[in-house]
């Protein structure tokens, strides 16, 4: 009886590894790559106070194909300029609120894809992430 129980337990412990071996490999088309702007983007924004407000952000662009990183890098100055312009036209309330930050992120994502569409004929960016977002 003990031998049967041990045999059943051994079979149960081996079962997950058998299932894992039968699982199909993930398709290679889902390999994403990231492009980070270096150095960080620092610019002024419209402040309600008498002193000038500034925002400092790190931006990562997610692309579906790693080969697209070369195109993104080539257009880095154009994309960076668009982000600086968008941030510079924001009021202080929008810069400092979480919902405003998300709206700014979406606006940057849409504008950058629009620019890439004009320059390359393709919208290459899958997502735009703010990995650092500091303001004063």
pLDDT category at 28 given cuts 50, 70, 90 is low
Total domains present in the chain: 1
pLDDT at 46 over 90: no
pLDDT category at 48 given cuts 50, 70, 90 is confident
- As a whole number, mean pLDDT of residues 84-93 equals 95
List residues bridging with 57 in a β-sheet: 41, 133
5 found inside a domain: no
pLDDT tens readout for residues 92-123: 999 999 999 999 999 999 999 999 999 999 99
Which residue reads 């579906």 in tokens?
64
Query: What are the C-alpha distances in Å from 52 to residues 44, 55, 89, 134?
Result: 7, 10, 13, 14
More confident residue, 4 or 66: 66
CATH of residue 65 = 3.30.479.30
3 found inside a domain: no
36 found inside a domain: yes
Query: What pLDDT was estimated at residue 88?
Result: 94
pTM for the full model? 0.76
55 found inside a domain: yes
Give the chain's radius of gyration (CA, Å). Answer: 24
List residues bridging with 54 in a β-sheet: 44
Dihedral angle, C-alpha 113, 75, 55, 46, nearest 10 °: -70
Which residue reads 């703010």 in tokens?
130
**Domain span holding position 70:** 31-135
- Nearest CA to 56 out of 95, 110, 111 is that of 95
90 found inside a domain: yes
pLDDT at 73 over 60: yes
Q: How far apart are alpha carbons 85 and 88 in whole angstroms? A: 5
12 found inside a domain: no
14 found inside a domain: no
Query: What pLDDT was estimated at residue 23?
Result: 45
11 found inside a domain: no
């Amino acid at each position: 009886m003990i031998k049967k129980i041990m045999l059943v337990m051994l079979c149960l412990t081996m079962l997950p590894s058998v299932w894992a071996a039968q699982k199909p490999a993930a398709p290679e088309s889902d390999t994403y790559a990231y492009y980070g702007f270096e150095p960080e983007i620092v610019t002024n924004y419209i402040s309600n106070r008498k002193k000038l407000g500034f925002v400092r952000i790190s931006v990562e662009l997610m692309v579906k194909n790693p080969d697209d990183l070369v195109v993104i890098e080539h257009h880095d100055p154009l994309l960076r300029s668009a982000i600086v312009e968008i941030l510079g036209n924001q009021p202080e309330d929008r810069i400092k609120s979480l919902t405003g930050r998300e709206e700014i992120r979406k606006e940057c994502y849409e504008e950058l894809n629009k620019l890439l569409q004009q320059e390359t004929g393709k919208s290459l960016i899958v997502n735009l992430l703010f990995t650092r977002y500091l303001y004063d």
